[in-house]
Chain A
């Protein structure tokens, strides 16, 4: 059981918008620590998608956006494309565990 809770799966048709939630607590997302998001395409290593809650690394399309409010965070993907089909993970720091933590991951299916 992960400290950060994500839906196991989400789906959407090409061109649609989907969101993936990441729910934590007052000891992780609810602190000043940032939330980061990763995309893991099948058979590959994860790739940093969003850092510092809302920032995109160079090369990540602006179809991907992140937000944080209270003890939760969200990843939004607009204009869904077949190539977006992947697993997505949120990550933060937990002040009680004093270590990094990941969400359980969400599998995005593009219908």
Chain B
């Protein structure tokens, strides 16, 4: 059974860096594009970006200047770092596994990150 589990602080101060990790179990790290999607409270889904095991990445253009997604194959984990956060970055962050045809086959349960002082 495939399991994706997000972990990280639930509260981040404005202007600081939001850091999350996703631990993957039951799936080959080379079979998916490891992704982050976020959902502000009461709103729709927003694509954040992905990292592939080759090292290639794809980022939402609106977040690109603040965003880093990295893969740690030795730990079967991937991470998200979003710097200079504001209240607009408050959201449930989902880690996910994306197929080459861009369908998101695997989803974590999501973790709420609140940006507030």
Residue of A nearest to B46 (CB): A102
Are B107 and A46 in contact, CB atoms less than 8 angstroms apart? yes
Are A45 and B44 in contact, CB atoms less than 8 angstroms apart? no
**Minimum C-beta distance from B110 to chain A (A):** 5
A binding-site residues for B, Cβ under 8 Å: 2, 33-34, 36, 38, 44-48, 51-52, 57, 89, 91-93, 97-105
* B58 located at the interface, meaning its Cβ lies under 8 Å from any Cβ of chain A in the complex: yes
- B47 in complex: contacting residue of A38, A46, A57, A102, CB < 8 Å: A102
**Minimum C-beta distance from A55 to chain B (A):** 9
Residue of A nearest to B58 (CB): A99
Interface size on B, residues (CB 8 A): 22
* B11 located at the interface, meaning its Cβ lies under 8 Å from any Cβ of chain A in the complex: no
Residues in A whose Cβ lies below 8 Å from that of B61: 97-99
* B60 located at the interface, meaning its Cβ lies under 8 Å from any Cβ of chain A in the complex: yes
Residue of B nearest to A55 (CB): B103
Residues in A whose Cβ lies below 8 Å from that of B103: 34, 36, 48, 51-52, 91
Residues in A whose Cβ lies below 8 Å from that of B44: 2, 89, 102-105
Residue of A nearest to B92 (CB): A45
Instruction: Name 27 interchain pairs, CB-CB below 8 A, sorted by A.
Output: A2-B44, A34-B101, A34-B103, A36-B102, A38-B45, A38-B104, A45-B107, A45-B108, A45-B109, A45-B110, A47-B107, A48-B103, A51-B99, A51-B105, A52-B101, A89-B44, A89-B45, A91-B104, A92-B102, A99-B47, A99-B49, A99-B58, A99-B60, A99-B61, A100-B47, A102-B47, A105-B45
